[in-house]
Structure 1
């Protein structure tokens, strides 16, 4: 269903903020994606807040997704009720509350009809250090919108479908424009991770790879060193999303141009041209984030440094090391099956559950589409002989069992994994 809008109020000035005079635009959303959110749990939640005369609206990314015609995966709510008021409301209604670690920041999570609803009190930042913020609760919706990072993330949606847009977020979304709320420099200095969030949302929203506002880029360049104080885990969450989004090649190159790489765990002299080549070949095949980033590394030592900074998972680091080690060893051959042979051998010899996945990522890295298609069809053959089989025919020494199994595995490999158990056991000399 297409977006259907009706303007229910004319734009009106709502007052002076710490930024400047702003207009509140209100429109009404009527889409199937929006209506699909109204489960029994949300109906009960909405009725409870209405009963206590507290405003409740959908906030942030869920609004952006709904305006883009998408049903959001996660829906966050904002309210004028304080955390204490929410707790009293829920307790009186016999509603269970869970995971209330965010209470000091104003977030209460209620459990209704087997659904979790995360509701946060409107806030203003009273003090920030570039990583964390001390907040104060408010009932002013615009003040809460003002503290958010990007205009497209600063909108609210009433449960009647009314959009509350204080900073032209809907217009920016229509124009595929990514802008900070107010001063880019001020928003970045409140939380330097917003530099990477800008790049991430640029990859999701912008149509063209290089349509940035010059003032925004200037603010990012001037404040890039602030990323050094951000935890590696937070950086890695954003970086992974950037790499799998649109314009990833351009955005990574831009990070190098703006000298951000040294602060976010990437090698300062990363091979940007190799990365651009890999991205061009691999992007159509849904590569893992590390497959693209591995192109930037010159050596295993640089992978180790990246891991120390970003604390990536063991599987992610293992993939990076694998790609750096084997990316030059793909043999060119007109015979596709012959070209696949070293890879099939590698998978079977290593006997690791994820080795086949690594080889697929290597083929994506190299742009070997035909080999990738062939390899994805291949099922790993199972070595048919076990130590129990050898003991059954009279091989009892543990050392001898190990040696014999390896000899049989070599014979099996030379047969291109075709020999069955009986054929292999015929080679055992007792």
Structure 2
């Protein structure tokens, strides 16, 4: 039996059935699915089969496989409790790591240099909009009921059988994003699901604006619940959403629904500027802050966002840079095809990430031709140092600093072409 499971055969037809409980099943046999069966997965699977516990792929990995993608991360669900898993793994000599998830039912086992995160089926006993108290179950449908979206509520058996209780596969095929059951109930269990809805809408839906009115009403009425969600959790969802499909539409919708004040965005954000900038950047892999900075009117807005979301120093500095320079650092009207204003800024700033910031600025400004040139440009090295001047007999530190700055200006005017000897000749003539 197990040999058949470990070597699934690709079939040209898909078998679909409905069970008496409304369970929709089908048989998946794709090369992406087969590629998951490493030595490690085979070893884990054999242990669960030996002890007669079910093991299935869960959540996002199922969604990816059904979309023809090989998932980067694969999570598993099981009927075994954490204690039962620990006994199985210990008896098999398998090391367990990262026990922080154990109280929520998750055990991480390491076998053949691979980590496998396996979670016991659960039901929510009590929720407060941020966290849930759970009990373990062996009922796959009850576990599916507690998940956020239908497209994330499916399970995939290791023989390729899809277990779909809420028509998630049909929603995936028709590119719909729906909550499992009542949108209001799902949101009130964890208010972060509001942002997860937007993120997955941008990831799955073909067209902007095809939202279920009931879902939008539930989001509007529960928006204030986001105030109690940690900034770090919000930022994880928000920064994925703003670089996904339909980002401009989704951000504008978030403003219409009254979300910004609860998630660190300015209440009076410049939505029209954001929509304009999105058209500039959407095909050029923008960083999340490049899109969001269009909403900010001043550096104070960036500081307030950082206070709420606790973004990284690099992200905060990019936001401050874009707000400060989006108007004053631009191509020269006398030479609109020249990168010179931008390259001079990079040379003068002497910051290691200055070129990266300028690239984001060019995306923001819609300067796609200059962006391509900047991406190919290598920062030249200023060829003169204080040591060169001291060899010429100049010993005053202040004088050396002044001369170096003057030579740097001459070098910039030459488009960074003048060599050391040429530059030092300027010193000799002064």
Shorter-chain TM-score: which interval?
over 0.9
Q: Which residue of 1 aligns with 2:182?
A: 183
- CA offsets, 1:6-48, max 9 Å, x none? 226x31223xxxxxxxx01111000000000000000001001
Please tell me whether the aligned partners of residues 4 and 31 of structure 1 are also in contact (alpha carbons under 8 angstroms).
no
2:20 aligned residue (13, 34, 43) = 13
- Please list every run of 5 or more consecutive structure 1 residues that lacks an aligned counterpart in the other structure: 15-22
Q: What is the deviation of 1:427?
A: 3.3
Please tell me whether the aligned partners of residues 3 and 69 of structure 1 are also in contact (alpha carbons under 8 angstroms).
no
TM-score scaled by length of structure 1: 0.94
- CA offsets, 1:43-84, max 9 Å, x none? 001001101111100000000000001000100000111111
TM-score scaled by length of structure 2: 0.94
Q: Which residue of 1 aligns with 2:56?
A: 57
Q: Which residue of 2 aligns with 1:140?
A: 139
- 1:105-124 superposed matches below 5 A: 105-124=104-123
Q: Which residue of 2 aligns with 1:25?
A: 24
Does residue 333 in structure 1 map to residue 333 in structure 2?
yes
- Which range is displaced more, 322-331 or 131-140? 322-331
Cα distance in 2 for partners of 1:51, 1:390 equals: 78
CA gap of 1:160–1:295, structure 2 versus 1, over 3 A, is same
Query: How many residues of Structure 1 are paired with residues of Structure 2 in the alignment?
Result: 420
Please tell me whether the aligned partners of residues 121 and 140 of structure 2 are also in contact (alpha carbons under 8 angstroms).
yes
Q: What is the deviation of 1:284?
A: 1.1
- Which range is displaced more, 360-369 or 128-137? 360-369
Cα distance in 2 for partners of 1:105, 1:392 equals: 68
- CA offsets, 1:379-407, max 9 Å, x none? 21111122333333433444443333223
Q: Which residue of 1 aligns with 2:370?
A: 371
Q: What is the deviation of 1:337?
A: 4.1
Q: What is the deviation of 1:275?
A: 0.5
- Please list every run of 5 or more consecutive structure 2 residues that lacks an aligned counterpart in the other structure: 1-9
- Which range is displaced more, 349-358 or 327-336? 327-336
Q: What is the deviation of 1:333?
A: 3.1
- CA offsets, 1:124-151, max 9 Å, x none? 1111110011111111111110000000
Does residue 244 in structure 1 map to residue 251 in structure 2?
no
Cα distance in 2 for partners of 1:337, 1:145 equals: 56
Q: Which residue of 2 aligns with 1:20?
A: none
Secondary structure, counterpart of 1:385 in structure 2:
coil
Q: What is the deviation of 1:165?
A: 0.4
Cα distance in 1 for partners of 2:25, 2:410 equals: 74
Cα distance in 2 for partners of 1:3, 1:185 equals: 40
- 1:41-52 superposed matches below 5 A: 41-52=40-51
CA gap of 1:157–1:334, structure 2 versus 1, over 3 A, is farther
- 1:188-267 superposed matches below 5 A: 188-267=187-266
Q: Which residue of 2 aligns with 1:67?
A: 66
Q: Which residue of 1 aligns with 2:303?
A: 304
Q: Which residue of 1 aligns with 2:408?
A: 409
